[in-house]
Amino acid sequence: MKKKTLKENPMIKSNKKVRLNSVTSSSEDDNIVRNFVFIIVFIAVIVGVAYGATALFKKDKDDTVDLVKGSINYDKVVVGTLLNRPYDEYYVLAYDSEASEAVKYSAMITTYKGADEDNLKIYFLDLNNELNKKYYNVGEDNKSNKNAKKIEDLDFGDLTLLHIKKGEITEYIEDYQTIQEKLK
């Protein structure tokens, strides 16, 4: 019988193939890892360039902060929220903020210390606001509904002070002098 040599042994040949496949496989894994690292570095460079570009073109940090800041004025109301304020009793002064006497009306609100110990909270209703315009009677007739008890019934003249108690209108005053006396 013939002795098999090392070259002819089939087991040795298959081991060589396994070794070649494992070398090829680890080489592919290295390429995948290398590509992943390259992509991460590329993204980091892009983000850095974008950040640097915005820093160069940005004039003043405070300008952008002011644009982001916003405030809610809790002293203003619209007709739809007129009767559901968080106080049991309060005033609502309704007038057109674009009217010639608006400064005088605004001064009444400013000098009145609403929601102090002795005074009721006061809200401002701008009749120039789009949400309130349909309730504002402008013109020669300038009629208002002094007997309004519901929002749907409201019709405002140029200046109106409403006294609200527990979600209901208790007073409807349109006379400037009377309003001024109430808000002292």
pLDDT one digit per residue (tens) for the chain, 184 residues:
555 555 555 555 555 555 545 555 667 888 888 999 999 999 999 999 888 888 777 655 545 444 455 556 667 888 888 888 888 999 999 888 888 888 888 888 888 865 566 788 888 989 888 888 888 876 556 667 777 777 888 888 888 898 999 988 898 888 889 988 888 7
Within a 10 A sphere around the Cβ of 76, how many other Cβ atoms? Answer: 13
Looking at residue 158, what is its pLDDT? 86
Distance CA 14, CA 9 (A): 9
Looking at residue 99, what is its pLDDT? 85
Q: 0.95 cut: is pTM over it?
A: no
Looking at residue 47, what is its pLDDT? 93
Angle at 92 between CA 86 and CA 98, to 5 degrees: 130
Looking at residue 55, what is its pLDDT? 77
Looking at residue 39, what is its pLDDT? 95
Looking at residue 42, what is its pLDDT? 95
Cβ atoms of 126 and 132 closer than 8 Å: yes
Distance CA 143, CA 141 (A): 5
Distance CA 39, CA 147 (A): 73
The 159-165 sheet, strands edge to edge: 76-77, 121-126, 89-95, 159-165, 168-173
